[in-house]
Amino acid sequence: MADTKTFNLQIVTPDRIFFQGDAEMIELKTTEGDIGVFKDHIPLTAIIAPGILKITNNGEVKEAALLSGFLEILQDKVIILAESCEWPDEIDINRANEAKIRAERRLKGTDAGQINTTRAEMALRRSLIRIELAEKSGH
């Protein structure tokens, strides 16, 4: 018999089904702020902002770097369509550090008119999230 406190969670990226299974709660960042979702949450659609996704089930919390996408909360199911989602052991910490350095250089550069500041800021946020999650999990 299925646990009545859980809902079905599906996380899809362009290259794979990242996660499919039950969850008691998820926590993530949207463009409107942080959100926590339990079973029977009101239906909602939101734009995901870069952050750490927490999936709780049976008292266990799994974390992943969720970088952007869309969230749809339905009556008995939550669907996340993500541009990118990575478990801590999938993060290449050296690559994330290099991306951080590149983004910081772009933002500090003298040719500020020739770069897309928003794009550089987003690249910096993505790299910092990856670094935070990898360091937190010991990878």
**Chain segment 15-72, per-residue pLDDT in tens:** 999 999 999 999 999 999 999 999 999 999 999 999 999 999 998 999 999 999 999 9
- Select from 122, 134, 138 the least CA-distant residue to 52: 134
The pLDDT of residue 9: 98
Q: Enumerate the β-bridge partners of residue 7.
A: 23
Residue, of 87 and 136, whose pLDDT is higher: 87
Summary mean pLDDT of the chain: 90
Mapping DSSP to helix (H, G, I), strand (E, B) and coil, where does residue 5 land?
coil
**What is the pLDDT, as a whole number, of residue 119?**
84
Identify the band that residue 120 occupies on the pLDDT scale cut at 50, 70 and 90. confident
Strands, E assignment, the chain: 7-13, 16-23, 25-30, 33-38, 44-48, 51-57, 60-73, 77-86
The Cα–Cα gap between 79 and 77 comes to 7
CATH class given for the domain over 7-86: mainly beta
In this chain, the answer to whether the domains covering 7-86 and 91-137 adopt an identical fold is: no
Residue with tokens 């990226």: 13
> What is 91-137's CATH number, 3.40.1160.10, 1.10.8.50, 1.20.5.440, 1.10.1040.10?
1.20.5.440
Task: Encode 48-65: b = buried (16+ Cβ within 10 Å), e = exposed.
Answer: bbbbbbbbbbeeeeebbb
